[in-house]
Structure 1
Amino acid sequence: MMPKDFRDFLSILEAQNELVRFSEEISPEPDIGAMGRATCDMEMNGGGPALLCENVAGYKIPLAFCLHASNRRVALSLGMDKKTPLLDLFREFTRRWDKYPVQPVAVDNAPCQEVVKKGSQIDLTEFPIVRWNTGDGGPYVCKNAIITKDPETGQQNAGLYRMQLKDKARICVPFIPAHDIGRHYQKAQAMGLKEIEIAVALGNDPTLNIAACSPIPPEWDEFGFAGALRGAPLSMTRGATVDLMVPATSEIIIEGKITIGKTHIEGPFGEFPGYYSDLRRTPELEVTSVTHRRNPIFEGLYIGLPLTECDWLSQLANSVSVLRQAKQLAPELESFNLASSWVLVGIASMRKRYAGQDKKVMNAILATPHASYGMKLLIMVDHDVDPFNLDQVMWALATRFNPATGVTFINEATMNPLDPIAPGKAYGTKMVLNAT
């Protein structure tokens, strides 16, 4: 059954014994972060549940987290059986990728605007925004869809970016120029604009969260992609104080503006590779309104040493994105796994027919935007090896990989700026291991 919205997803998880509710009072720090860490560790060792804390000390609003922190719950978020094997999930995700777009529909009287707060009514501290790891520089919002639009074309974008809470009406939004929001910011700056508008959607339809962290082609929009994933259009409504369309069924919408050139210190933050980021100056969102459902539920996301929720949330989208783009140049590429459990590692299976063909596939993969940015090590295997079965991959490396001839280095390549071997530089050396 395809979830209708965030609340329906919670109901489905509970019915499938994938959600644990806590009614007793729970301390926001360090208990919430420790619970996120524990359930992710449990998942790596046989199974950990999603969590709903109904009584977070100091808050009246419940906190749900780790909702996508397993392949089972990713399958349920896509309306599939939770026992669906990962390779079959990949194939179905690929099929839905090819259904793009299913464009959203506009509605009035949206649930996300049942309560509207402006001016002195705005208070972000009423939401259970917590410090997820003890070394974090403050409380963070981590699971969201941050909506901006291109100042030239008007096309909207939704991305998932962490946000550090500063006070009741200010929150830092770190991003880099390569992100769509970064391009919108730079365009606005070049056009002489003084600010850009932003809406932050929280407690979203589960397919929108997947879409928001998907490296889709730049001409696509995440709302049409979420519609393709769910097989039906999302409902959108006009923002209360910004000229943006926002998801109508989300639990909470934070609206505001970023002043071009105005920054604030942000960080450190426990990042997905398992290391803390440094302090840096990032743009700051000044909130103009907060709208939400009656009795809203806040959704958080624990990030830290892999595996955590972001790894399961993004694996299918990252993998299918690279496959679809690389196959245009190398149709012999069979499957690709940007492995959630091996951070910054990609595994490609191919049908090799002649000597040197692996180099063609390698170059096609490395030319894709996400692999060139988010992958440091590429492992090449034959078509009879399932790249989502890491035992099979290790067997191929043990029996088919020749260290004398099977290693390729690519120097001075683009790297993920969060890679701890290249902090702040975003370039370094990539390696390819050929086990074909």
Structure 2
Amino acid sequence: MSERAYYRNLQEYLKALEQHGELVRVTRPINKDTELHPLVRLQYRGLPEAERKAFLFENVVDSRGRSYDIPVAVACVAGTRSIYALGLKCRPEEIPQHWADAYARPIQPVVVDKGPVQEVVLEGEYLNQQGLDLLPIPISTPGFDNAPYTSASQWITKHPETGVFNIAVYRGQLKAPRRLGCHVNTPHHGLRLHWLRYRELGIREMPVAVVIGSAPHLIYTAVAKVPVDVSEYDIAGGLAGEPVELVRCRTVDLLVPAEAEIVIEGVIPTDAIELEGPFGEYPGYMARRGPTFFLEVTCITHRRNPIYEAMLSQMPPSESSKIRQIAQQGVVRRVVEQELGLRDRLKGVYFPESAGSFGVCVVSFKKEKPDEPMQVLEALHRRRVVSKLAVVVDDDINPSDPDAVFWALAYRMQPHRDVRVAPGVATALDPSIVPPWAEKDALASEKLEAEASVLLVDATRKWPYPPLSLPTREFMEKAMVLWKELGLPELHLKEPWFGYPLGYWTEEEQGEAALAVQGRYYETGEKFKQSGRKTL
């Protein structure tokens, strides 16, 4: 077999993580119901991002005393930005361009006759006796979750008329050996749109395949907001630089990655829903129970020695907030650079993980026309990529520095003039939209839209400003030399670290400043006495 540039599968990728010192192997018995997620959670509450790792649990047990032959990998695709970059085989700073290239040059998948994901096929009576219990599905929020839930599960559906595939990551509640819940948290996600179309056509069952464990580019694409008429398989191919190899499912008319670890095949009824939840979700709160879709399992296939992949979500920061942050920033970059044509003037995009990488977005770019900031904000609103607060700042503001952003909000905008309240993006996972006891029927999600709103804030300068009140660069650079000579602690400078003009500063004022540093400030005082004194 010829050498491939990209990872063939999850296991090959995990080896790369280990080679780079990014993987922790745990060989002692770990209870998937009470210990596994809490252990990984600790690094997100107690370590800086640079020190966090991916985990591979090789000796998994449960609260009923069962042992599993299948290891569990957690935080392996987006535990940190560096881990995510390894998943793309690029440097962290190259991630945005890697995504841009994938959208510019998508590669369609190829269908192969067979693949490792179907080395073991389980169907018939086996599903009734063991079925999904084969899988070491962890409990993500012990003490609050009501069951194990799949968390890195890629749900694959196909539009009944166009045949376009959709792949998205949804949680799946383990309900029975052959029944899995499916929660879709907004009314505009692919699976729900496909389900509605099947229902409109009078088709009682929608075929579904759930992929667990794959080369990382597939789950990266599944989290991204790919246009509805584009297949995630094509974009994943663009990320890898080669086509995704697919095999046909055994019991449903779908195509799945041939090199995946595990695939759950089944159907979602279009004439019935049932209760699901509660489950700890990415806004940092427990998502309440409510009626939603469920999958009836028809077949399980897997590699001979599969690895189960889970994702750490719940309270941010988490693995899910990191993978969502990078995906969302890519969407905004495409909107600003391609749709609005501001490619050369975009400085940065930032989604704070503390806001779930969805609630708040800050865009920094060089404004040339007064109406450009609101054009950017309205474009983001149309694309539904931010749920609560979208802010545009000037290109001298670092969008990822909250101090700089708060400074811009305080002194570069006026709420009555520069803030617009627009209809928001509703998600039943946001407890601020409606009380937790309100109905959140999957069929009535649109009702939430009327209760959601988003702030669009233009925090750019509206006219020339005086210079920043910091010493100019010349003096700060000399001070840095002096600092080092004094043996003071190493500096980590944040922008802005020197003053610069912003359009409103006269030659006279600059001349006075030059006199001051020469010790000739009395000359300015005398000038003021002669020309500026007024008798009251």
TM over 0.5: yes
The match for 1:342 is 355
Q: Residue 413 of structure 2 aligns with which residue?
A: 402
Does the residue aligned with 1:33 lie in a helix, a strand or coil?
A: helix
Q: Which amino acid aligns with 2:238?
A: A
Query: 2:58 is matched with which residue?
Result: 54
Give the alignment partner of residue 377 of structure 2, picking from 362, 366, 369. Answer: 362
Letter matched to residue 370 of structure 2: A
* Matched AA of 2:32: P
Residue pair 1:3, 1:12 contacting (<8 A) in 2 also: no
Report the counterpart of residue 183 of structure 2 in structure 1: 174
Distance in 2 separating the partners of 1:17 and 1:406: 51
Secondary structure at 1:261 match in 2: coil
Question: Matched residues in 2 for 1:11 and 1:410: separation?
Answer: 48
What is the rounded CA distance, in whole Å, between the counterparts of 1:340 and 1:435 in structure 2? Answer: 21
Letter of the structure 2 residue corresponding to residue 199 of structure 1:
A
Assess, with a 3 A threshold, how the Cα gap between structure 1 residues 112 and 43 changes in structure 2: closer, same or farther: farther
**Aligned match of 1:105:** 110
Match of 2:504 in 1: none
Cα deviations by residue, 1:318-337 (Å, 9 ceiling, x for unpaired): 22223313445532361433
1:232 is matched with which residue: 242, 262, 265? 242
**157, 169, 188: which is aligned to 2:198?**
188
**Alignment counterpart, residue 138 of structure 2, candidates 122, 130, 142:** 130
Could you list the runs of 5+ residues in structure 2 that have no partner in the other structure? 435-439, 441-447, 461-536
Match of 2:157 in 1: 148
Query: Deviation at 1:46?
Result: 4.1
452, 458, 465: which is aligned to 1:434?
A: 458
Residue-by-residue CA offset, 1:65-110 (whole Å, 9 max, x unaligned): 11121101000000013xx34xx422332233322x2111111220
CA contact (8 A) 1:44 1:307 kept: no
Q: C-alpha deviations, 1:142-173, integer Å up to 9, x for none?
A: 10211111111222111111100001111111
Which residue pairs with 2:123 in the alignment? 118
Return the TM-score normalized by structure 1. 0.92
Q: How many Å separate the matches in 1 of 2:337 and 2:100?
A: 12
Native 8 Å contact 2:26 2:56 kept in 1: yes
User: Which of 378, 394, 397 is 2:390 aligned to?
Assistant: 378
Q: How many residues align?
A: 427
* C-alpha contact (below 8 Å) 1:407/1:431 kept by paired residues: no
Q: Does 1:21 align with 2:29?
A: no
**Matched letter for residue 90 of structure 2:** M
Q: CA deviation at 1:429?
A: 2.5
Deviation string 1:303-323 (CA, Å, 9 cap, x unpaired) is: 111011111112222222233
In terms of fraction of residues, the more helix-rich structure is: 2
The answer to whether the 8 Å contact 2:23/2:53 transfers is yes
Asked whether the equivalents of residues 274 and 305 of structure 1 are also in contact (C-alpha less than 8 Å), the reply is: yes
Give the superposition deviation at 1:395: 4.8
Describe the superposition over 1:28-57 as per-residue Cα deviations: whole angstroms up to 9, x where unpaired: 222112023113334545421111110111
Residues of 2 paired with 1:359 and 1:28: CA distance?
48
- 8 Å CA contact 2:102–2:236 kept in 1: the answer is no
1:159 aligns to 2:183 (yes or no) = no
Cα distance 1:330–1:245, how it changes in 2: closer, same or farther (>3 A)?
same
Alpha-carbon distance in 1 for matches of 2:97, 2:163: 33
Task: Give me the whole-angstrom Cα distance separating, in 1, the residues matched to 2:424 and 2:90.
Answer: 38
Which residue of 2 is the match for residue 93 of structure 1? 99
Q: How many angstroms does 1:126 deviate by? A: 1.6
1:2 is displaced (CA, Å) by 3.7
C-alpha distance in 2 between matches for 1:36 and 1:348: 32
CA contact (8 A) 1:198 1:242 kept: yes
Task: Verify the 8 A CA contact 2:213 2:309 in the aligned structure 1.
Answer: yes
What corresponds to 1:417 in structure 2? 428
User: Aligned with 2:279: secondary structure?
Assistant: coil
Tell me the secondary structure at the aligned position of residue 414 of structure 1.
Answer: coil
1:172-221 deviation digits (Å, cap 9, x = unpaired): 11225411111111111111111010011111110000011110111110
The letter for the 2-side match of 1:351 is K
Q: In the aligned structure 1, how far is the partner of 2:14 from the partner of 2:244? A: 18
Whose relative contact order is higher, 1 or 2, with alpha carbons under 8 Å and at least 6 apart? 1
- The RMSD of aligned alpha carbons is 2.0
**TM-score, with normalisation over the residues of structure 2?**
0.76
8 Å contact from structure 1 (residues 406, 435) kept in 2: no
Is contact 2:153-2:172 (8 Å) kept?
Answer: no
Cα deviations across residues 380-430 of structure 1 (Å, max 9, x unaligned)?
1112334345554345445x4334556413144333332221045243231
Out of 358-367 and 15-24, give the one that drifted further.
358-367
Aligned residue for 1:171, secondary structure, equals strand
Conserved in 1, the CA contact under 8 Å of 2:374 and 2:458? Answer: no
Bigger fraction of residues in strand: 1
1:215 aligns with 2:225: yes
CA contact (8 A) 1:39 1:50 kept: no
CA shift digits 1:326-365 (9 cap, x unpaired) = 4455323614333334331011112212333322222122
**Matches of 2:427 and 2:333, distance apart in 1:** 19
Stretches of structure 1 lacking an aligned partner (at least 5 in a row):
none
Stretch moving more, 53-62 or 189-198 = 53-62
The aligned runs of 1:257-406 (5 Å cut-off) are: 257-332=267-342, 334=346, 335-343=348-356, 344-368=359-383, 370-371=384-385, 374-390=386-402, 392-397=404-409, 400-403=411-414
Aligned to 2:252: 242
Q: Is the 8 A contact 1:409 1:429 kept in 2?
A: no
